[in-house]
Homo-oligomer: A and B are copies of this chain.
Amino acid sequence: MTGTVLRPTERNSGSPAAHALLDVLVGWGIRRVFCCPGSTEAAFLDAVVERSGEVELVLTTHESVAVAMADGAARVTGQPQVAYLHTNVGLANGVAHLTAAQLGNAPVLVLNGLKSTALQGRDGFTTVPYPRDLVRQHVKWARQVSSADSLAADVARALRTSVAEPAGPTWIGLPQDVLESTVPVEAAAEARRAVDVPRNRPDRNAVADAARLLGGATRPVLVAGGDVARHGAVDALVTLAERLGATVLGEDRRGFQRTAFPTAHHRFAGWYAATHPAVVGADLVFFVGCRVFTEFEAPAGDEFPRHATVVHAHVDPTEVGRLYPVHRGLVGHLGAVLDDLLAVLPPGPPTGPRGEPVRGGAAPPSAGNPAGQSAANPAGRPGFPGHVGLGPVVAALVDGLGTDATVVLDATTATPALLSALPQHRSDQVLLSSSGSLGWGTGAALGVRLARPGQPVVAVLGDGSFQFGIQALWTAAHYRIPVTFVVLNNGSYSAVGSALHRFGGAARRTGRWPGTDISGPRIAEIAAGFGVPATRVTGPADLAAALRAVRDTAGPALVEVLTGPGRQADPDFSPRDGDGADAPSGRYLDPDFPRRDGGDAGAPS
């Protein structure tokens, strides 16, 4: 990242401050700005015209998409990315996905075009008294620039802060008068210079103690968290697992952000849960680069392995011992932690394998499915139906995707089945957000693809998430970004249905599930309307073929697969034959109108 040579530029017009801002971004190696602009950003946009050989604008039609794209690109590069949002309303629209960037430790700089300082003081159009308050819980640092003189330094500080560990988002408010200031201003050399992020090493004595504990354990379990991948330390963790003969588990799925261990490795044995046989039988559990834990609800029982010696390594000291005391904490960059551990553990080949890793256990819980039910077969009756037949669909999906694709998941109730089934050979092969912010995956996948030219990228979405992230289809089509979107359409908010089922009240008694029926949209048709070639298939038999058919498409593609239990699985339900100007078929004029389900509103009279 260092050593970028800045090209001299001619500045015939425009705002010196906007050019100083671009100097900083270009000096940091930032070549794209993800943006949903308004009038306050004119000086920046105009400067981009003059600097079009250096930096490009990636236009989005909703701020949430800009944030998710920056997040996706930041996750897979580790480099800072910029989302440029418009005023208070644009910032608000970006906040939900910013929580994903925060939890994913993505170095996303949010530049926020604000109205002029004078207009802010007059409570003018699209101003808010304290814009910083909208975002400060989700960023490491937030500052409204007070003058053109400090702009470059403020932006550079935000970039340094974003990439410093633990990495995360920052926010810079850019008032229009500051951006359009005609006062000559230059970005100082130090503002333009990207920095190497120093790797903080763990305490030497702590390493020695952890090595002693690890070396003395007879049934050790390593829990691989996303930061192992983020810090480029997967190989080191593999080495450690092999040297210890340890069972390796992926982190609790509710906190899963990214693939951190090859799931086909012979020491990998599934996903962390307190009830996993390896955990039950362990005498030591080493949590490496994961949060302990991202809980879906306050634990009723013991999620923490109290019977075992617990070691926890994390780059963020506040994460070590946050909810539970541990016997040994290691604070540091995980590359340094693992290197240091390997250096003091007995070298060379393992002293002898301790047998096969301990496998087994039920599907662990995940957000939206906290009881760990199989989504395809929820316990109890009458039960919310969820994704009927999801198992074969997942199998067809894995078959059709091949083994190379990077998969971005945003399909709430299907996530456990997908995480278990998807090939995960390398770092970051599966990406997921633990934020609960639906729609993140659509934009994130586009950002991943732009950051990884030539890499196949697939986003697997639920139909609920599809609607939340729908505007990303515009950007996908406009720039012909070759991402394949797979939408598992079960026509429902099945996480809500599952929650109602667990609640065990009137909904379960009557079989009426308010707030769950989101059937209706013909998703492939909507995507085609956006300019994304799209296919609807009605079941697993056609899914793999449809995926193979689009695998080498030069632009985006979408495959909708009907997985739901209701009318959408009706075999005679097919896309209509008319053109876009016709009324849709009477199927949508529901005969049981005005009351679709238990509590939804009736017809307006």
Q: Which residues of A contact B (CB under 8 A)?
A: 12-15, 32, 35, 37-43, 45-50, 52, 55-59, 61-62, 87-90, 92-93, 95-96, 99, 115-116, 118-119, 122-126, 128-130, 133-134, 136-138, 176, 180, 254, 294-298, 322-323, 367-368, 434-438, 449-450, 453-454, 464, 467-468, 470-471, 474, 477-482, 493, 495-496, 498-500, 502-503, 505-507, 509-510, 512, 514-515, 517-518, 520-526, 528-536, 555, 575-577, 579-584, 588-590, 593-594, 596, 598-605
Q: In the bound complex, how far is the Cα of B512 from the Cα of A596, in angstroms? A: 50
Q: Assess the B122–A298 pair: CB atoms within 8 A.
A: yes
Q: Assess the A298–B478 pair: CB atoms within 8 A.
A: no
Provided the pairs A96-B89, A298-B118 are in contact, do residues A600 and B39 lie with their beta carbons within 8 angstroms? no
Partner of A600, one of B56, B93, B368, B525: B56
Residue of B nearest to A367 (CB): B125
Partner of A294, one of B125, B477, B507, B599: B125
Residues of B within 8 A of A479 (CB): 594, 596, 600-604
Q: Which of A498, A532, A598 has the most CB of B within 10 A?
A: A598
Residue of B nearest to A87 (CB): B436
Provided the pairs A520-B530, A529-B525 are in contact, do residues A14 and B470 lie with their beta carbons within 8 angstroms? no
Residue of B nearest to A318 (CB): B123
Provided the pairs A125-B434, A522-B529, A533-B583 are in contact, do residues A37 and B496 lie with their beta carbons within 8 angstroms? yes
Residues of B within 8 A of A55 (CB): 599
Partner of A589, one of B296, B480, B498: B480
Q: Which of A42, A479, A532, A533 has the most CB of B within 10 A?
A: A42
Residues of B within 8 A of A87 (CB): 436
Q: Assess the A89–B436 pair: CB atoms within 8 A.
A: yes
The 5 closest A-B pairs by CB, nearest first: A525-B580, A39-B499, A533-B583, A575-B580, A526-B529
Residue of B nearest to A84 (CB): B515
Residue of B nearest to A37 (CB): B515
Residues of B within 8 A of A12 (CB): 506
Provided the pairs A45-B496, A57-B514, A57-B601 are in contact, do residues A520 and B580 lie with their beta carbons within 8 angstroms? no
Residues of B within 8 A of A509 (CB): 13
Partner of A39, one of B45, B495, B576: B495
CB distance from A539 to the nearest CB of B (A): 15
* Additional A-B contacts beyond A59-B514, A577-B579 (19; CB < 8 A): A46-B506, A47-B506, A48-B598, A50-B505, A52-B599, A59-B518, A61-B518, A88-B96, A89-B437, A119-B296, A122-B298, A122-B323, A470-B470, A474-B521, A477-B520, A478-B520, A478-B600, A480-B589, A575-B581
Residues of B within 8 A of A510 (CB): 49
Residues of B within 8 A of A56 (CB): 599-602
Q: Assess the B137–A59 pair: CB atoms within 8 A.
A: no
Partner of A124, one of B95, B295, B464, B515: B295
Q: Assess the A59–B589 pair: CB atoms within 8 A.
A: no
Q: Assess the B533–A584 pair: CB atoms within 8 A.
A: yes
Provided the pairs A49-B507, A62-B468 are in contact, do residues A580 and B576 lie with their beta carbons within 8 angstroms? yes
CB distance from A254 to the nearest CB of B (A): 6
CB distance from A106 to the nearest CB of B (A): 16
Residues of B within 8 A of A35 (CB): 515
Residue of B nearest to A434 (CB): B125
Q: Assess the B575–A297 pair: CB atoms within 8 A.
A: no
CB distance from A72 to the nearest CB of B (A): 12
Can you offer 28 A-B residue contacts whose CB atoms are under 8 A? A13-B506, A47-B506, A56-B601, A58-B601, A89-B438, A90-B96, A95-B134, A116-B297, A122-B295, A122-B298, A125-B436, A468-B471, A470-B471, A477-B520, A477-B588, A479-B603, A520-B531, A521-B531, A524-B581, A525-B528, A526-B530, A528-B529, A528-B582, A528-B583, A529-B529, A534-B580, A536-B580, A576-B579
Partner of A125, one of B13, B296, B580, B589: B296
Residues of B within 8 A of A297 (CB): 115-116, 119, 124, 176
CB distance from A514 to the nearest CB of B (A): 5
Q: Assess the B536–A49 pair: CB atoms within 8 A.
A: no
CB distance from A584 to the nearest CB of B (A): 5
CB distance from A205 to the nearest CB of B (A): 29
Residues of B within 8 A of A532 (CB): 584
